[in-house]
Structure 1
């Protein structure tokens, strides 16, 4: 304790301690959201705002009961955070509690970087929670083949968008944001340059999710054949005229189809095939899983999927890789 006091006194004399302020956690959260508006995609910002409002109700309703939000930012201690998360644990899912801790950590960590507080009170707080479930469900090879055949029978642009998600590992927004200028039908590759995401119920153009999401992806021969046939339906249009056109236009051809269109179509196809329901994002997840199961190096899968690093790929597919490793046995008799 004496050592900590001496350290604080030394920092005070060097002018490294923040000036006392009555800024509350909720006040700082509002400022933090304004900062993040310039750094993240609109959909991510909306997610931050939604989750923070659930954690700090006074952000939306100034008269709401909000013990943590009304505390002075500089007064929050690890014990306060621990009590808050423990109380949340009693009425929310493990996923919500994990997300709450992550969001609060970021909130206080940025305050620490700006020297508004002397330490992050969330950093030392640890909670015992059930292990995370593997993300989504992976289609088995035979299920993937049946789904692709059904999508080909559908013959609609949205069916082709779903095919791209499954055979090229594209995110929904990346597939829906493709223009013909992004697709090289001669070389058999496509370039991810933008995303068409849902913000407040409507479609909106955005940058790809991360810097690594800007990438060039090879198109499998069968999918390339479908794309060439689809391009042939644009009769009378030169390459220059088609370059700025959306692959999957909406009723108004100046914008792509609604971001939810693939979800609705996928549900109908799966019901017709009698396959269990999956999310559109599980098509991308299946792509990564099937690539790894077929022996693709983790680095290649990370590059194809636009992950920031192979470490992220390892984290997502660790369960699959562990199963694969179990098959490598040296039996010398």
Structure 2
């Protein structure tokens, strides 16, 4: 058997060495926090994308560890997990995590002043906590524990966030207002072919063929653990080739001309050569994802359209494709969904006006 080098705290080294050797981990003496720390470091980190791992670690640190984490793993029951999730769902996490108390005194506004802001975790956050618990405890079952108590926990349907994409009229208003914006091409690509924010900001000129009118998604730009990183697409199907509408080709040509002008103006201060990104700052550096969100919020006001999330432009693309007769398979390929079920369940919308038209046709048929 090859020699395996294990680093870290002595107890963690022993746990990891036992795991790599096929020996069960002594979970009967560990608290939930201790076991989840072990699972995150030695199991999850090697299996999931870094962005996913950072989300896992943040949820465990902010929600599980502070209170629930002190309980012994061997004494954990289904009732305990159900109670923990129920309590989490109705607890202001700003108060529970002391977020307001950590701010400078002149910026404190809620829990530190005795005025709870009622910032409750989303239904998705609570469900994701259960997903993490199930995955971690399933690994404990394989290594040492005889049962996975999280598997018996069921959550109610919850309140699914209603997604209302922009209408065709709002889409026209938005793109018209974006014509003189530095990120005009980004908005064109988001509305017309549904690229994700990270896919847009990670797009390189080498991934764009303006002559053939084809764009290839190969990477994404995301802020992970406090730093901007180039990462792989969200799923295998997210890596895809998409035909470019003529409007997108025109906007990308304008973007290239703008970037050439920026490069000349920056001179020796230009920093975009190594990245080759399509969308950069005036100095050629990658664009901070949150800055794109801020730019979009300003654009919505200027265009006179409803204030929606930048990600809702992706929903808008799916909705418009659907309304113009595109089938679910095509929408799935354009947006790079992992399965057609995702397309059907989340991204395809039937507006009220579309329903009325359908009912009118039915009415005509019944006359």
- Range of TM-score over shorter length: 0.7 to 0.9
Match of 1:51 among 55, 59, 67: 59
Q: Per the alignment, in what secondary structure is the counterpart of residue 21 of structure 1?
A: helix
Measured after TM superposition, the shift of residue 119 of structure 1 is 2.6
The answer to whether the 8 A contact 2:315-2:347 is kept is no
Written as runs of structure 1 = structure 2, the 5 A alignment for 1:1-333 is 21-34=28-41, 35-58=43-66, 66=67, 68-91=68-91, 92-93=120-121, 95=123, 96-112=125-141, 114-135=142-163, 137-154=164-181, 156=182, 158-232=183-257, 234=260, 245-253=276-284, 255-317=285-347, 320=350, 327=358, 331=365, 333=367
The answer to whether the 8 A contact 2:27-2:73 is kept is no
Instruction: Provide the aligned length of Structure 1 versus Structure 2.
Output: 302
The answer to whether the 8 A contact 1:101-1:122 is kept is yes
Greater length-normalized contact order (CA 8 Å, ≥ 6 residues apart): 1
Query: CA–CA distance in 2 between the matches of 1:110 and 1:228?
Result: 51
Query: CA–CA distance in 2 between the matches of 1:243 and 1:216?
Result: 23
What are structure 2's unaligned runs of at least 5 residues? 1-23, 92-119, 265-271
TM-score normalised by length of structure 2: 0.73
The answer to whether the 8 A contact 2:318-2:348 is kept is no
What are structure 1's unaligned runs of at least 5 residues? 1-16, 59-65
Measured after TM superposition, the shift of residue 140 of structure 1 is 0.6
**Greater mean alpha carbon deviation, residues 159-168 or residues 279-288:** 159-168
The answer to whether the 8 A contact 2:30-2:72 is kept is yes
The answer to whether the 8 A contact 2:27-2:145 is kept is no
Measured after TM superposition, the shift of residue 19 of structure 1 is 6.6
Measured after TM superposition, the shift of residue 249 of structure 1 is 2.0
TM-score normalised by length of structure 1: 0.80
The answer to whether the 8 A contact 1:164-1:170 is kept is yes
Query: CA–CA distance in 2 between the matches of 1:27 and 1:98?
Result: 22
Measured after TM superposition, the shift of residue 258 of structure 1 is 1.7
Higher helix share: 2
Query: CA–CA distance in 2 between the matches of 1:173 and 1:20?
Result: 39
Distance 1:19 1:219, change over 3 A: same
Q: CA RMSD in A?
A: 3.1
Query: CA–CA distance in 1 between the matches of 2:239 and 2:29?
Result: 43
Distance 1:131 1:71, change over 3 A: same
Measured after TM superposition, the shift of residue 145 of structure 1 is 0.5
